Structure 1
Amino acid sequence: MAKPATAAKRPRRERGSINPDDIIAGAFELAEQVSIDNLSMPLLGKHLGVGVTSIYWYFRKKDDLLNAMTDRALGQYVFATPYVEAADWRESLATHARAMRKTFMGNPILCDLILIRSALSPRAVRAGEQEVEKAITSLVEAGLSAEDAFDTYSAVSVHVRGSVVLHRLYEKNRAAGEGAHQLEDAIIGTAESTPLLAKVSAEGHRIGGADERNFEFGLGCILDHAAALIEAGTKSAAPKSRRKG
């Protein structure tokens, strides 16, 4: 049986000594220990050394606190990766994608708040729109139309987020003792009924697994398609250039 979430007890604060910033910072500290799912107002009060009513004064329910945590995560989160460069669009976009994935994979709290909880939130979109604009501009300079540049970056973003979220859900299930039948663990197929499936599965390939192999294969497919679009656009533009000459 899983142990209930607990928080380290601090000396009790004086009444009125807590503020929203302290509460949010403490919530991040506590979430690192017990996870976003197990974060609760009573646990947070114990962690901060205040009565739970002091927290409810600023955040009437857990969802309000999670909204504030998400806003802070979105405001402070910056991908540790160089911008997508037009002159080296393929490698720089691949590096950007790998850095995004590495950052989220290494921080479950960011993943839970930004990718899972706020995946469809308008504020999540707005928080990164300047970075997306720069990436799309570089892809247009590299030879894609604005529409294809947008779709390419969007596909990379969805691929990264999908890979991270699937891995995060797998980790949650495994922690809960439900991971034995996950696709990331399973070798599927038999030599008699599905020999090809059994062969590649035994070699480490996984259907639906959010592993490095599947991530890199999918990323390569997106980049290959973008490269083909750029090449096709270059070829179609060449006759026009010659006629102008």
Structure 2
Amino acid sequence: MSDGSRTSRVRRTSVWLEEPPGPRRRGGRAGGRTTGREGQAEGLDREKVTAAAVRLLDAEGLAGFSMRRLAAELGVTAMSVYWYVDRKDDLLELALDAVEGELAVPEPAGEGADWRVQLRQVAHELRELLRRHPWVTGMLDGFLNIGPCAVAHRLAVGEVLLSAGLDRSRADGALAALFSFVYGHAAVEAGWRSRCRAAGVSAQECSRALRARLGALPEYPEYGAREEDGGERAVRLVEQRDFDVALDCVIAGIEAMAGAAGSAGGDGAAAGGAGAEGAGRTGGGRGVDAAGGATGGTGGTGGQGRDGGEGVGRAEGGDGAEGEGGNGRGAAPGDRAAPVIPPQPGPQDR
């Protein structure tokens, strides 16, 4: 029941933000209707009502779904259905999460497991789910899809992405990219087939007409030359090929991001180690960084002068900046053409 408060309004954004599932009404008035235990139909529960809703949605789609039609399927009155849910949207959310429960939850990546294989399996299973229940794609722009089955599945896929070497924020973004691709691809497929059915033609007939139309244009002569035999099977094969190629692109992008993250981490560790080594080798000497280069590296190279008391070391692979070990002093890069200045006595030696 809504009390008009902000908390109540937030809860109404999703049935999953309300109290735990269970029979919704215990008597009294709700939405202008008198309800009570006598309104509960014999042998029904929320799971059975939800399962019936899924069957009706599969058969009629979102446009053909109504609480009255559902009640007729169950052989009860519409009032009996409202014993289990407050409104139609709540039941649609329950149905959405019920079909999400058909997805296999990926196992944690074990020794030798390939996260790429796991992601491909996730994508193909999700696509097949959306083909079995095409009405799901029509719900994603109006419902949060935060039921327990959906959340458990996404968390598991997120762990697969973490095993690829992504950090948490990048793993979340990669998961969004993967799911958005599959949902979007399925939505286009469902829209195409729905339009063909509404026009009374097969997908193969529509595809042939499209190729003929494009092939007649001088910009696309190759379309007219294509021949696809096998009817519906040929259309399915083309759709599968396109899906696989697009999925390869998504996974390649994730792999490139994971590789870049790993490379950046390795470079950072190497730089830290080099700095620590330079600092240790310099000892009592100090590095002269006239070129603005790495002080630790330059001083470390010049540190060989420490053994002899005074000496000059040249930074290897640098900009020619000289390092100083002990009292040895190096010339700045601008003086590279000039001879090296011999060590000068310090104030303490005068």
Q: Check if 1:88 corresponds to 2:110.
A: no
Per the normalisation by structure 2, the TM-score is 0.51
Of 241, 265, 270, the residue aligned with 1:213 is 241
In 1, Cα distance between equivalents of 2:74 and 2:147: 32
1:146-194: CA deviations, max 9, x gaps?
3332222211111111111222222222222266799755215336611
Q: Check if 1:194 corresponds to 2:211.
A: no
In 1, Cα distance between equivalents of 2:129 and 2:161: 23
Match of 1:230 in 2: 258
Of 120, 123, 134, the residue aligned with 1:97 is 123
Of 130, 146, 168, the residue aligned with 2:168 is 146
Once the 2 structures are TM-superposed, how far is the Cα of residue 242 of structure 1 from its aligned partner? 4.3
Structure 2 unmatched ranges of 5 or more: 1-39, 229-237, 275-350
Q: Which amino acid aligns with 1:220?
A: D
Q: How many equivalent residue pairs?
A: 220
- Name which of structure 1's ranges 181-190 and 165-174 shifts more when overlaid on structure 2: 181-190
Per the normalisation by structure 1, the TM-score is 0.68
Q: Within 5 Å, give how 1:89-128 maps onto structure 2.
A: 89-105=115-131, 107-108=132-133, 111-113=134-136, 115-124=137-146, 127-128=149-150
1:64-123: CA deviations, max 9, x gaps?
54344335445xx14226347384111211121111112221x22xx424x321445334
RMSD value over aligned CA atoms?
Answer: 3.7
Structure holding more strand per residue: 2
Structure holding more helix per residue: 1
State whether residues 139 and 149 of structure 1, in contact with CA within 8 Å, keep that contact through their aligned partners in structure 2: yes
Q: Check if 1:79 corresponds to 2:103.
A: yes
Once the 2 structures are TM-superposed, how far is the Cα of residue 32 of structure 1 from its aligned partner? 4.0
- Structure possessing the higher relative contact order (Cα contacts under 8 Å, 6 or more residues apart): 1
Match of 1:24 in 2: 50
Once the 2 structures are TM-superposed, how far is the Cα of residue 39 of structure 1 from its aligned partner? 2.9
Q: Which amino acid aligns with 2:192?
A: Y
State whether residues 189 and 195 of structure 1, in contact with CA within 8 Å, keep that contact through their aligned partners in structure 2: yes
